[in-house]
Structure 1
């Protein structure tokens, strides 16, 4: 298994590049973004994934290990081959893929050439729980935040309203947030929801 290449960029094409690695010309297929980061004659480090078929061995190159991880996760989905997985990364960043998978946003995958509505829904279903956002919106909460959010949702609040209330309450009382005391933070959040009145206290329907 070849996990990365380090060498001089010999050439860059529309869909692939060739790296001179100690005198060996190694061709890698890559997204337009990855290819755009390579400069002929300059040194480059490229993370790789090798796909072995009966009649071929193909290297796919990536700017980061995160891109490769998302690529390999997509390959585990029925009907998604390396070309389609690469197309997803040509349209979306790895983090955007993670967020779409977590949010069940099949429309995001429908934007990728070659993926129709049914295929997009299948991808979302099969990615559930396999790709989690690492940062920004949709990223996992800190341990105590997750516990408070789960408790709020158990009381019937929607995830959106509960999350917004937790953020607002802890910003107003950072000293309580710093303790990580789930009980105190839960009380604070419930109080915040009560103060906001009807706008933020609409509970999610259950059933």
Structure 2
């Protein structure tokens, strides 16, 4: 198993990156939050999970080892594959997922695209306490002010997850209004994205 990769970021798109490791370019799928922290041309380390199928070998990347472990654990639930597991981590931090499962918070789980109420019940039942206790704090929903606006990254990430550009743009506006801010700082893209996904999930419910 390839547990981690360190190298130079060659490219970053909405749902994947290419990392040059010793002259070999590895295509790695990742969450928008993980991708937003990477910069082309810079060195990076991503924790990885290799998913092997009969006709493919796919790498998934994460900001840290804890996120990778949660990704692998949730796939032990029947009906949860790597794509859905990645979507869960796009919407919730690892600790938020732990709290949702431990507290049987079905409303939080159904905010993930692809998970309905029955699927959420199955996740709670089959995971039990296997994710372990919460270990840290979630990203803040509020978005601090900054002279440089990175809202476009948040909008692009939402479009990549399936929402229209108008819905994505309006949702980011709502997140910024709620925070009393007008811009998204470079280091708060992940927090703004999670706040937007929570808002969209609440509207769906």
TM-score by length of 1: 0.65
Alpha-carbon separation, structure 2, partners of 1:132 and 1:59:
25
Deviation of 1:108 (Å): 1.0
Alpha-carbon separation, structure 2, partners of 1:104 and 1:51:
28
Matches within 5 A, 1:1-207: 1-135=1-135
Deviation per CA, 1:117-165, whole angstroms, max 9, x where unpaired? 110111111111211223369xxxxxxxxxxxxxxxxxxxxxxxxxxxx
Q: Judging changes above 3 Å, is the alpha-carbon distance between structure 1 residues 45 and 136 closer, same or farther for their aligned structure 2 residues?
A: closer
Alpha-carbon separation, structure 2, partners of 1:93 and 1:6:
23
TM-score by length of 2: 0.65
Q: Secondary structure at the match of 1:114?
A: coil
Larger Rg: 1
Alpha-carbon separation, structure 2, partners of 1:4 and 1:136:
22
Alpha-carbon separation, structure 1, partners of 2:46 and 2:136:
26
Q: Secondary structure at the match of 2:80?
A: coil
Ranked by relative contact order (alpha carbons within 8 Å, sequence separation 6 or more), the top structure is 2
Counterpart contact for 1:99–1:132, Cα < 8 Å: no
CA RMSD between the two structures: 1.2
Alpha-carbon separation, structure 2, partners of 1:2 and 1:122:
29
Q: Secondary structure at the match of 2:132?
A: coil
Stretches of structure 2 that go unaligned for 5 or more consecutive residues are: 138-205
Alpha-carbon separation, structure 2, partners of 1:72 and 1:86:
10
Poorly superposed stretches of 4+, deviation over 2 Å: 132-137
* Partner of residue 200, structure 1: none
Alpha-carbon separation, structure 1, partners of 2:101 and 2:128:
6
Q: How many equivalent residue pairs?
A: 137
